[in-house]
Amino acid sequence: MLRMNNLSKVYRTHMIETHALRGFEIHVKEGEFVTVTGPSGSGKTTFLNIAGLLEEFTGGDYLLDGVNVKGMDDNARSRLRNEKLGFIFQGFNLIPDLSLFDNVDVPLRYRGFNAAERKERIEDALGQVGLASRMKHYPAELSGGQQQRVAIARALAGSPKLLLADEPTGNLDTQMARSVMELLEEINARGTTILMVTHDPELAVRAQRNVHIIDGQVSDLVRKTPSLFDANAAHHAAAAAS
């Protein structure tokens, strides 16, 4: 699904060079649920941004769903983002002046679906996160957990292959956080690959696989915890291969 080889990202400001990522290697298979951890400033966000085609990288290769993204222009990247990826942010990032319906609608508009198809997808997505009844409401009227669910619906509406989550539970209390995690796991169970950046070691443990980044490189500490999800992941990988 996602493969990075010898990836590097260098920031140049005036006369200072910062190597955010160097010799970065990662391979995420389809259907996996991978968490990414690391101390502050380790390059987690940079990795996520590059994975999400939000930023360009300096050297190395990045293949997303088999497509080599090196040298892609901005328009092509936007299109790829729109079709293949879904985003979930720590701050929800819903647009406050739009209703829930219109918020989920945003990525679909850029896709070029017609009105009927969009309506169907939006209702379906909001239904999946249990908020279909409040379609016409505005984000300010919802709790944090509900807002995050809407964000998830927005991420799902376009049927993405890969979901990228950046500290999705960071702004939520424990109860809400748990329900969001359950939702994510549900989504993963249905076949969507999930890549999640997190601080929380507890959450990191829940995933099938954890990638730990230190100083811009994947560290050797890769933990694998046998769990229910392993079996599912293997099943989906097999199905995709055949």
Cβ proximity to another protein: between 60 and 107 the closer is 107
What is d(CA 23, CA 43) in angstroms, rounded to the nearest whole number?
12
What is d(CA 32, CA 195) in angstroms, rounded to the nearest whole number?
8
Cβ proximity to another protein: between 109 and 235 the closer is 109
Q: Find how far residue 101's CA is from the centre of its chain.
A: 21
**Nearest residue to 48 (alpha-carbon basis) of 93, 87, 91, 106:** 87
Q: What one-letter code names the amino acid at 121?
A: R
What is d(CA 142, CA 135) in angstroms, rounded to the nearest whole number?
11
Cβ proximity to another protein: between 162 and 233 the closer is 162
Q: How far is the CB of 232 from another protein (least distance, A)?
A: 28
Partner residues linked to 19 by β-bridges: 10
Q: How far is the CB of 174 from another protein (least distance, A)?
A: 19
Local structure of 176: helix, strand or coil: helix
Q: How far is the CB of 70 from another protein (least distance, A)?
A: 18
Q: How far is the CB of 55 from another protein (least distance, A)?
A: 5
Q: Which residues form the interface with another protein (CB under 8 A)?
A: 45, 48-49, 52-55, 74-75, 78-79, 81-83, 87, 89, 91-99, 102, 105-107, 109-111, 138, 154, 158, 166
Cβ proximity to another protein: between 81 and 206 the closer is 81
